[in-house]
Every structure is written in C-alpha cells, then in structure tokens.
Structure 1
C-alpha cells in the first residue's frame, strides 16, 4: 500500500518524494533502554515509527524541527571501515594492563578490511562485541533454565557443544549471546547495556561468588566479509568470513568462528578481573615497604601479613591453576577444527593476553617478595624479642640467686653471732662464779 502524503503543499511534497525510498529502507533507530527486551519481540508489539508513514523531513524528527542539519545520506561509495572507525571503543580500566596493549597497537596500523566487508545485516546498526565478567563462575544448568524462561532459543545452529562448555542463545534482531562457565557473557550485535543487564541481573541466580561492583567489561568491533571464507582479526576489529553462510545458507561455520573469538575475548575479560584484583591488592600492601624502611620497630601485624599472603596465593592460583587462562588451547577446541584454534590464538594475540599473563606473574612475584620480606622481618623481630625476654629472665634469676645467697650469708652470720654470744655469757658466768668463790674464801680466812 502506498504511504499517504500529508497535504503540505506542492513544494513540500516534491521535496519529500525524493527521500521516500531512502526513508523506507533507512535503518530504524535503536529502541530506548526501557523498551529493550531479552527475547524476540512480536511485530505487533514493536512501536510504530513516524518516519515509516511519511517522507516529510520535518515529520521524521518526532514532530519537532531539527536543531541542526541532518547528516548526509550514505552512498554506496562510503567505505565500511570509516563507519566502523566512527564508533569509539570503550576505554579499558585505568590501571588495566589491557590499556598498555591498546596504546601499543595504535602505533601499528592494521590491514584495512576488503571493500566487500559490510556491517552485519539485521543487527539494528550494531556491530559491537561486548563481554562482561561478573562472577567467579556460572552454574551452566541454571543458565540454560534462565535463558529458556526468557524465551531464548538455545543452540539454534547445532554447534554440538555441551552446556558445561558454552551456552549459545540467540536474542532479538538475531543477536548472539555466549555464556561461558568462567562467569563471562559475550554478545554479538547487541547493545552493551543489554548484555550488562543480562549478566548482572537475569543470570545472577546462576552466578557463583558474583562481584557486580568489580565486574569487567570489554568491547570490540566486528564486520562481515561475504567474499572471504576465513575470518581474521585486523587490529581491534574482527572480520567474519561469511562466504559459506551466503552460498549455502548455513550459519554453523559463522557461529563456530564467533564461539572461538568469544572464548578468546572471555579469557581477556577474566584476565582483566585478576588485573583489577591485583591492583587493589597492591594498593592495600603499599604501606608495607614504607614500614619496613623504618626498621625493626615498624608496627606490623602477623595476622595481616598472613592474610595478605593468603590473598596473593589465591590470585596466583586463579591465574595459573583454577582457570584456563594460561592454557594454550581450551578443552572445548581439542576435538574441533584447526581454524577455530587459529581464531582463538589470533584474538589472544590481538589482546596481548600472553604478555599480560607474564606481567601479572611478574607483579605477583614482586608482591610475594614483599610478603616474604615482611614475614622475615617479623621472624627476626620476634626472635630478637624472644632473646630479650630470655635475657631478662636470666637476669631475674641471677638477682634472685644473689638475694638468696645474701640471706644465706646473713643466716650463717647470725647463727655464728648467737654461738659467740652464748660462749661469752658462759665465760662471764664462770668468771662471776670464780669471783664469788674467791670472795667467800677471803671472808673465811679473816
């Protein structure tokens, strides 16, 4: 049915007819945040667009006149790389090592994509890859139940991966969502706020040890190239080769490539969580070297040092043992095609995952040295304190022995003095008796 033109005069009608085709095939604006759903929306519930029923320029701005001239129409000669370049990547964490990788990548321009590369159709103008890590791990069985309750179709392309490896769901506008057991959700062609809400709210019951306040997010851009069969990574842009999908209509090959790239991006996001945790740990132990520089009299607590040592061991074990961050290839790709391993390695190289892991281990080694030195200083301080206490006890014992010797000498002196006094008294008595006897003899002789 031909759209009805309002009675605005010949000039307005003639000006509007030239933009009729463009307005009918122009991409629809993104829905507002309050109108986004996590499941396919029926056509009857989609809000009516004003520019669908009119070709008048004034009525396409929601009834208000434009405050600035409308942007020029896109022409077929516009290069898709320019369109991708207009979207700014979300800056990484200020203290994240990924920031160093991005700055290093800016000095080496990537190979421009082929002219046949175009934005992915049916993504509502979105060509972003968003990853959110908001939990230590996910209960994948609960994840499947939650996604089913929200109306998502699980594993629509029949990838064959088990639920404990990855869960693939397809949302509105054919946007793909990949949930990994490492606590990371990766989306293709969906707004970042949608995947953020999905990871931090709807999947929260399935999260084990969630950290919503300390979650990490990473964004990339992707393009599709229907003339290429193999996918590749150009700088910070993932180029999907969709030749098989275009020729045969089978999306399995494209979905497997997305899973490989998503797994590498999830690995980088999980690594960013450990980077942030280590940064907070180093900030909490920043005062220890300053106190150590004060000498043995520095106030250090044995309990605090043991707690920091345990936190550091936990971070190092998460990096090297409990997760697949240091593995060259995840378990899900052992029995898969070789090109998936190549995709996983390419995205890891583009994000400098190997360099960041090495830097993390070096920082943890330094932190371990600080804790070891602090423990050594505490041991020396406790040993010196113990020696001082032992010396004090020895002196106390010596003083007590000296006091006991003095009392013994006094006793001996007193005992000897008493014997001498008794002898003296007995001699005096004997002398007095002799004197009396002599007096008696003298008196008798008279």
Structure 2
C-alpha cells in the first residue's frame, strides 16, 4: 500500500471541543471537554450523557453589583469625603429616635421642609471643617455623610431600639452603599462626576445632600428587596425540579398559600409603598432638585432593577399559581376517590342485604 493510502486510512484524532455544564459544590461551572473524533463516533453513549448534563442547566443567580470599598481616613484624597448608606429595618420610629438623639446630645436633629418621614441630624462636635451629617428615613434607611467607620458602627448600634422588623447583620452590610463626594466649583450646579463622585455646592447644600440621600436610600432599600427575592427564589427552586422530574411535590396547600402571600407582600412594598415608580412630591416644585434626583436614580439603575424585579415576581406568581392548581386538583381527586370508595362500600352492603333477604 502506498504511503498516500496509509495516511488516508489513518484514524483521525483531531480534538472536538464540547461545552459541558458540570455541577460541583452547588455551583454551575462551565468547562470545555476535549473528545477525540474517534471517541465521538465509537462511544455515542458518552455524548448522550454530555447532552443530559447540558439539559440540566440551572437558573443563573443574580450577580452582585460591585460596590466601592470603604476608604480609611489615612487613604482619603484631600477634599474628597465619604457617604455611607444602610438599610437596617423595615421602619424607624422617628419620633422616639429624635428624643434619643436629644438625650445623647451628640447630634442636633432638624426637619427637612416639614417632612415628617425624614430626620436630618448634624454632629455638634466637628472634626475638621467639613460637617458630619445623617439622614434618617422612616422606611428604615439612613445615609451618613463624612462619617468614620467607627462612628458609623456606633450609630448602627444606636439605631437598634428604634427599629421595627430589623434585618440581619449580613443583609445590612452586603447591601450597603459607599460613595464619595466633594464640593463643586461655586456657581455650578450639583451633580455626578464622570467617576461617579457626587458634586455638591460649597454652601447651603442641605437640600442637595437630602436629594442625594433620598436616591441612595432608595437604592439600598431596593437592594434589600432584591436579596429577599433571591432568597425566596432559592426556597421554591426545588418545585421546578420536582415538576420537571415528575416526582411528588413536598408542599401543602397552606404552604403554597403562604408563599403566595409573601410574593404579594413584596410586590406591594415595591409598587405601592415606595417611590420606585414615581418621583416623590417633594421635588414637584423644585425642578433643579428633581433633575438631580433623577440623575442619581439613573446612576443606580433603579428603574431597570425595579422592572427586572417585577418580571421575576411575575414568574414566581405563575409558578406558585401552577403549584396551587396542581395541589387543588390532587385534593379534588382524593375527595372523588373517597366518594367512590364510600359508594362501593354502600353497594357492597346492599348486595349483602339482598343476598341475605332473597337468596338465603
């Protein structure tokens, strides 16, 4: 045989890259599996196993948004100050909080345009020329301006008695926001720099700080709700697998109704009890502050995140409604079989009575 024919008949071992989804440590990992063409044609069962792994792809989790790290005082740039935002509870008792601030005598509480849903506190003892300020919002969020890490921890501890339905420490820290701000050149309007730093006026900037704080507090609260929804999705993830595999669903009608109620409660606070879908009334007659508020909301993608959350909630509602319908059908089938069995028992007794009366 010529060398040409030997080369032609030689088995081909060119590698074929196949995308494989491997589940390891509860995490979906994607890798490329190299399979020779000879193995590809001689062992089709292994290829079918690969396809089965591909078909078991799980839903992708929500990626965590990158947040700015907290800068130590020694590393801070001169003229650049920090802003810390936390959401620690569902609601604050602001009336009791004001009394607590007055009792501590470290911060002077003020009102923002007779707004009863926010408390503006200014530190009485200054550390440098830049004041230290805090905005407490009734919906359970606080925004701290020019605060050190130690002082912010003390304030979070101080808030504990005035919280209603407090969040866990991991929830609070994971969804916190950290930003920087500096003073704008006099004569220019406040806004955001290309680097994401807040620019405020050098004097009489309390309303500008309130506007920034309002938008940041809304973003932090939305982050808490996003985490709550992700936790809810994890709690019902097994339902999709059970429906797919045809196995028995380990949930009762009462639990399904409770899950339904959790979804509608979350949808209520997002769409009815918050300002996620509309601009607050405070900015209607303050056009410059409204523009600033909208720009900060755009920076945090609040509208897009709200829309995505509502789409996820709609999907969860459809799944729970399907589950409720399935459980109701099973309950009705069980009742029908009980009725059939009772009828059969009654027919059996009638047959026994008939035999005893006429044939014996």
TM-score norm. by structure 2 comes to 0.72
> Of 292, 316, 319, which aligns to 2:243?
292
Distance 1:356 1:175, change over 3 A: same
Q: Please name the residue that 2:136 is paired with.
A: 179
Q: Distance in 2 between matches of 1:314 and 1:225?
A: 42
> Of 142, 146, 151, which aligns to 1:189?
146
Deviation sequence 1:157-212 (CA, Å, 0-9, x none): xx74225232111224311211111111101111244224313x112222122114
Q: Distance in 2 between matches of 1:96 and 1:164?
A: 35
Q: Please name the residue that 1:129 is paired with.
A: 83
Q: Distance in 1 between matches of 2:186 and 2:267?
A: 44
Q: Distance in 2 between matches of 1:358 and 1:207?
A: 29
Deviation sequence 1:42-100 (CA, Å, 0-9, x none): xxxxxxxxxxxxxxxxxxxxxxxxxxxxxxxxxxxxxxxxxxxxxxxxxxxxx666618
CA offset at residue 235 of structure 1? 4.8
**Contact 1:264–1:344 (8 Å) recurs in 2:** yes
Distance 1:364 1:130, change over 3 A: same
CA offset at residue 295 of structure 1? 3.6
Q: Please name the residue that 2:197 is paired with.
A: 238
> Of 372, 378, 385, which aligns to 2:334?
385
Q: Please name the residue that 2:113 is paired with.
A: 161
**Contact 2:112–2:119 (8 Å) recurs in 1:** no
Bigger strand fraction: 2
Distance 1:143 1:298, change over 3 A: closer
Q: Please name the residue that 2:215 is paired with.
A: 264
Distance 1:160 1:357, change over 3 A: closer
2:278 maps to 1:312: no
Q: Please name the residue that 2:30 is paired with.
A: none
**Contact 2:143–2:213 (8 Å) recurs in 1:** yes
User: Per the alignment, in what secondary structure is the counterpart of residue 229 of structure 1?
Assistant: coil
**Contact 2:215–2:297 (8 Å) recurs in 1:** yes
Distance 1:347 1:237, change over 3 A: same
Q: Please name the residue that 1:353 is paired with.
A: 302
Distance 1:193 1:351, change over 3 A: farther
**Contact 1:220–1:236 (8 Å) recurs in 2:** no
2:100 maps to 1:141: no
**Contact 1:138–1:180 (8 Å) recurs in 2:** yes
Q: Distance in 1 between matches of 2:216 and 2:195?
A: 11
CA offset at residue 137 of structure 1? 1.0
Q: Please name the residue that 1:27 is paired with.
A: none
Q: Distance in 1 between matches of 2:267 and 2:200?
A: 38
Larger Rg: 1
2:155 maps to 1:203: no
Q: Distance in 2 between matches of 1:319 and 1:97?
A: 20
TM-score norm. by structure 1 comes to 0.59
**Contact 1:119–1:224 (8 Å) recurs in 2:** no
Deviation sequence 1:266-317 (CA, Å, 0-9, x none): 0000101100111111111111112223447433311211111111111111
Distance 1:96 1:233, change over 3 A: farther
- Please list every run of 5 or more consecutive structure 2 residues that lacks an aligned counterpart in the other structure: 1-60, 69-76
- Please list every run of 5 or more consecutive structure 1 residues that lacks an aligned counterpart in the other structure: 1-94, 104-117, 121-125, 246-250, 412-446
Q: Distance in 2 between matches of 1:232 and 1:197?
A: 30
Q: Please name the residue that 2:206 is paired with.
A: 255
